[in-house]
Chains A and B, each alone.
Chain A
Amino acid sequence: MGLTINGLKGRGSFAHGVHPPERKSFAGDQAIEILPSPQKVVIPLLQNVGAPCVPLVKPKQIVSFGEMVGKGKAFVSAPLHAPISGSVQKQAVTNLPNGRHVKAIAIKAEGEQLEGQALWDEIYGGQWPKDNLEQYSPKQITDAIYDAGIVGLGGAAFPTHVKYIPNEKKPLDTILINGCECEPYLTSDYRLMMEAPAPVITGALLAGRATGAENIIIGVEDNKPKAVEVLREAAAGTDIKIAVLKTKYPQGSEKQLITAVLKREVPLGGLPLDVGVAVSNVGTAAAVARAVLRGKPLTHRIVSVTGAGIAKPKNLLVPIGISYGELIEYCGGLKEDAARMISGGPMMGFAFADVNLPVTKGTSGLTVLTQSEIRRAKETSCVRCGRCVDVCPMNLVPTKLALASRHKNVELAKRYKIAACFECGSCAYICPAGIPLVQLIRTGKVLVNKADK
């Protein structure tokens, strides 16, 4: 299907990028299944960018579904809620796939749980109005978003209310809802758009109402024509535009998305706010609708369990805090040739080995790859072919950054703008010499940060 950008300024694409195999077929056609309520959840106290939460509950305390159990003291934080009814266990600590070691609230299930279709209806079912949203004031909306503990569900987990609270110096004119899902394998956003487009639309309208942004645009890659159709139908009668964008990695990165749709460049070191845009994932939009209209917190999310290493790939509606192991078990277990478990997608996701780790708000998927998929070329010397320069979506020179990192040359790293790299991994994906470019750049960033202190 062709690119459609409805008279928007962008070209529907951005410069550079790569085309990794999409492999959306593993779970793309699997309708969302509702995971049976677990016996136990472990809710990490830090799941968002910003400050961690402080527990509001004590061990042995009985909590009910949706009750607030943790709250941060800082503005950039998001409260936590119980995804099941039960009793609080003694304080726990857990690791996260990204390597962090954090405190957590463990809740053991007790009493009646909301399950199955009833849970789906509670979260995504029912009516989602597209008009009369003026009854909610911007303040009401952002307060509801904060109270519901909503963070960016695309993976970055940045608290959403921070993005939407009006900033007099930098007013927003555009809300971009991100349905690109450019990571290979992952299909959770796709399934959400297919099966629950109405709350996405309502959430987008509410985001527009909260920020005063006049343009509301949903960006979707052109490899999801069905989702585009469904969204168009759901958005009928509203001013929401659906932008169909080129399928290219990393189209779903916010700076690239803004360029592709609006032809605006977020300044180096700046935020989308600086060009009058706020970007939110489709899942975030649906959570916003639920928070504002129904006053319900973020307790569940959709997770793709996918890849050649999993027996039965599925898309699941799961409570936050459930262990990855339970997802794997529900999907028939790992296959014999499974070689790597990744929280998120294969390009930017975190590999982990402990199946007891909990799903967090930012977990978009669990990708299990096999030995043949993670094969990489043996590392050889850089032949300076410039392929990494040709694919870098930020227009950097990855090979120089990697060299600077290897030689611990902070000055060189800064000259080549190491801080602008958002670690999409396109350079390491394409490198003919098999050099772990983005991995080296990460090390380099740490060096630069240390030197700056």
Chain B
Amino acid sequence: MAENIKKIKTAPVIHVAPSPHLSSMALTTRRMMIDVVIALIPVVLTALYVFRWYAAKQLFICIASCFAAEMIFMKMRSKAFSLNDYSATVTAIILALSLPGTAPWYVGVIASFVAIGIGKVIFGGVGMNIFNPAMVGRAFVMIAFASAMAASGYEDSASAVDAITQATPMDAFKQTGITTSLSALFWGPTNGSLGETSAFACIIGGLYLCMRRTASWEIPTGVIASVVVFAGIANLVNPQSQWTVLHHLLGGSLLFGAFFIATDPVSSPLTPKGKFIFGIGIGAFIMLLRLFSGYPEGVMFAVLLMNALTPLINRWTVPRALGEQ
């Protein structure tokens, strides 16, 4: 009897399920989000170095508000609250890095609630949103609190930090024609949104993301290629301009946007070809806004515009099946 019970206990329990019976555990949605957080480390460190307490404060405000927003909205939808997928963390950090350090605390809080609430939850949560949530939040405060967000709001001459006493490179050029040195744009000791100042940090993090295949290389490649082309044309048309192709590439939030914002998988197309077209479109809109609009920078609007076009791009780029005529 005892033996029989033992036998039953040790007998294998066999389940059936449809194939495939193996699945790759190397890459999960959660791991993708963690990858983005890892890739953002150099950018966060640069921001902390350049902007000190301004950066720390903004990051803290955005992370805390995004978590709070996620918790409240998930409760309202009576879904289990979970930060396990790290998507709120990613939104919070990217949002914070896209804001100027000098923006008052309520700007970060409101941007976070808009990002999570209107950017994500209202569409049905992770994976359902059409627009990049962080950019939705930023666009809202950019319009609602123009003075705190516009170029003048970036400056704080009372601050002890050197960078913040300057105008942003993009703005300085747009308003007064002063060109910032390429090395400053590359390493980052300039004014601007927290995450955008150092091209170097963005490239390091971005390459990591592309190498991990968490971000699709087609998107940043498309963005950079089209900016090079359009900035090149602008330069040819207006050769005396001091703002060269390299200034366009390294200045403003172009690289931050290309590597971290445009590559959000949810709001970008599905196929490699679609992703490339998406990147090219973003680059084109950025250059259009930079050259012809009143704004010194255009990354945010360019990404949001192309987000809106993503379903259409998906329709245009249904791949040709093997053997299809």
Contacts and interface: CB of A to CB of B under 8 A. Distances in A.
Interface of A: 15, 18, 20-21, 184, 255, 259, 265-268, 270, 309, 334-342, 346-353, 367, 369, 373-377, 380-387, 389-390, 393-397, 399-400, 415-417, 420, 423, 425, 428-434, 436, 438-439, 442
A340 B21 contact: yes
A183 to B, nearest CB: 10
B10 A336 contact: yes
Contacts of B128: 381
Given A255-B323, A352-B16, A374-B21, A389 B266 contact: no
B19 A425 contact: yes
B98 interface: no
B29 A436 contact: no
Nearest to A436: B18
Contacts of B268: 384
Interface stretch (B66-74, B178-186, B269-277): B269-277
A420 B23 CA distance: 22
Contact of A384 (B14, B17, B22, B270): B270
Nearest to A443: B18
A434 B16 CA distance: 18
Interface in B1-31: 10-25, 27-29, 31
B321 A21 contact: no
Given A369-B22, A384-B127, A439-B18, 12 more contacts: A184-B22, A266-B323, A336-B11, A337-B12, A339-B13, A347-B19, A377-B28, A383-B265, A386-B275, A389-B270, A393-B322, A423-B19
B271 A429 contact: no
Contacts of B19: 342, 346-351, 423, 425, 438
Q: List the 3 closest pairs (A to B, CB-CB), nearest first.
A: A381-B127, A425-B20, A338-B12
A331 to B, nearest CB: 14
26 contacts: A15-B322, A270-B323, A335-B12, A342-B21, A346-B19, A346-B21, A347-B20, A347-B21, A349-B21, A351-B17, A352-B16, A353-B14, A375-B23, A380-B29, A384-B265, A384-B268, A386-B265, A386-B270, A389-B270, A395-B321, A397-B319, A399-B270, A420-B323, A420-B324, A438-B19, A442-B18
B22 A389 contact: no
Contacts of A335: 12
Contacts of A389: 270-272, 319
B130 to A, nearest CB: 11
B184 to A, nearest CB: 36
Nearest to A417: B321
Contacts of B21: 340, 342, 346-347, 349, 351, 367, 369, 373-374
A150 to B, nearest CB: 26
A271 to B, nearest CB: 11
A390 B24 contact: no
Contacts of A268: 321-325
B32 A374 contact: no
Contacts of B275: 386
A258 B18 CA distance: 27
B270 A397 contact: yes
Nearest to A396: B321
Contacts of B314: 400
B12 A336 contact: yes
A359 to B, nearest CB: 18
Contact of A430 (B18, B24, B322, B323): B24
A417 B10 CA distance: 47
Q: Do most interface residues of chain B lie in helix, strand or loop, or is the interface mixed?
A: loop
Contacts of B31: 432
A332 to B, nearest CB: 13
Contacts of A436: 18
Contacts of A434: 23, 28-29
A266 B324 CA distance: 9
A295 to B, nearest CB: 37
A18 B24 contact: yes
Contact of B15 (A339, A367, A393): A339
B319 A395 contact: yes
B132 interface: no
B233 interface: no
Interface in B228-282: 265-266, 268-272, 275
B153 interface: no
A335 B11 CA distance: 8
B89 interface: no
A339 B20 contact: no
Given A381-B125, A386-B270, A432 B22 contact: no
Contacts of A431: 23
Nearest to B13: A339
Interface in B117-137: 125-128
Contacts of B17: 340, 351, 374
Nearest to A346: B21
A21 B19 CA distance: 16
A77 to B, nearest CB: 26
A432 B27 contact: yes
Contacts of B18: 351, 436, 438-439, 442
Contacts of B29: 377, 380-381, 383, 432-434
B127 to A, nearest CB: 3
A385 B14 CA distance: 33
A351 to B, nearest CB: 4
B84 to A, nearest CB: 9
Contacts of B20: 346-348, 425, 428-429, 438
A382 B27 CA distance: 13
A395 B322 contact: yes
Interface string B90-124: 00000000000000000000000000000000000
The CB with the most chain B CB atoms within 10 A, among A352, A367, A393, A433, is that of A433
B216 A353 contact: no
A416 B318 contact: yes
A425 B23 CA distance: 9
A374 B25 CA distance: 10
A386 B321 contact: no
Nearest to B87: A383
B156 interface: no
B25 A385 contact: no
A353 B319 CA distance: 39
Nearest to B271: A389
A376 B127 CA distance: 20
B265 A385 contact: yes
A350 B271 CA distance: 31
B272 to A, nearest CB: 7
Contact of A346 (B22, B27, B125): B22
Contact of A383 (B15, B32, B272, B323): B32
A349 B128 CA distance: 33
A433 B32 CA distance: 10
B19 to A, nearest CB: 5
Contacts of B23: 375-377, 428-429, 431, 434
Contacts of A393: 322
